[in-house]
Every structure is written in C-alpha cells, then in structure tokens.
Amino acid sequence: MKTFTLDEAQSLLPVLESLLKRAIAGKEAAEGVESQLGELSRRIYLSGGMKVDVASVVRLRAEMDGHLERVRETLAEIDAIGVQVKDLESGLLDFPFRLDDEVVLLCWRMGETSIEHWHTLESGFKGRKPVDERFRRGKNAGPARPN
C-alpha cells in the first residue's frame, strides 16, 4: 500500500478535486439519462404499451454507458495514485499515512481547504480526529511505498 506524507497528500488536492468533479459530473449525467429511460418505461407501463423509437432508446443507453465508463476511468485514475475514494457524492478521500508502525488515513472531503483530519482504518469518517504535530513534522511518517 502506498503511503503519503501530509505535504504529498496536500499537494495532490487540486488534481484530485478536479478528478472528483469530473467523476461526480459523469455520475450525475448518467443518472439524468437513467431518469429519462425510467420515465419512458413508466409511460409504457401506464399506457399498456406504446410505439417506442428504439434507435433513440439505444442512443440513450449508449450515452449512459459512456458516462458510467468515464466515471469508472476517473475513479481508476484516483485509485492508481494510491488514494481511496470513500464517498463519491460528498467527495470523501482517504490517503494512507504511516504513523509510527501503524497505517492510518488522512481524511479530506471536497470543499475543505486542506487536510486537517485523520482516522484509523477501523474508525472511519465518524472517528475523525484533528491532524496534530506528529503529522506535520513528518519524522514519524515512513517513506512512501509503492503498491
């Protein structure tokens, strides 16, 4: 598992925020198309059947699949960096950090100006604590390790 220093994680935020925005926009676009398809299904059901422009439905499905593929690709980019996406909708990311002999997670949510929280692997977001001097010094942080 790759680990980050606080400075390394902090320096990645602009790129990660841009990637998150792209993934969120793709997810929302796919949901919009899915809503259109759902409305069409509802109309067909309520009318007991109707003539459907199949080519239009095929185009909508292809459009939705394209949006979803872009979301998957963007999430794979974030994963390749070594960062964990915990909640796409809120833009919640975790960065593995070596604190003494334990790996903990630096925790950042889109909209926050910097990484100011961390939690253990087990405690999750609800167990967030403020980053303290141990994280800022960097001397307790182990070297970054490849996956």
Q: Are 135 and 8 in contact (CB under 8 A)?
A: no
SS3 state at 143 = coil
Which among 147, 111, 142 is positioned nearest to 8, based on CA atoms? 142
| pTM (predicted TM-score) | 0.81
Q: What does each of the 147 residues of the chain score in pLDDT, given as a tens digit?
A: 899 999 999 999 999 999 999 999 999 999 999 999 988 888 776 777 667 778 888 899 999 999 999 999 999 999 999 999 999 999 999 999 999 889 999 999 999 999 999 999 999 888 999 999 988 875 444 444 444
Domain ranges of the chain: 1-141
**108 close to 6: Cβ distance less than 8 angstroms:** no
Are 136 and 116 within 8 A, CB to CB? no
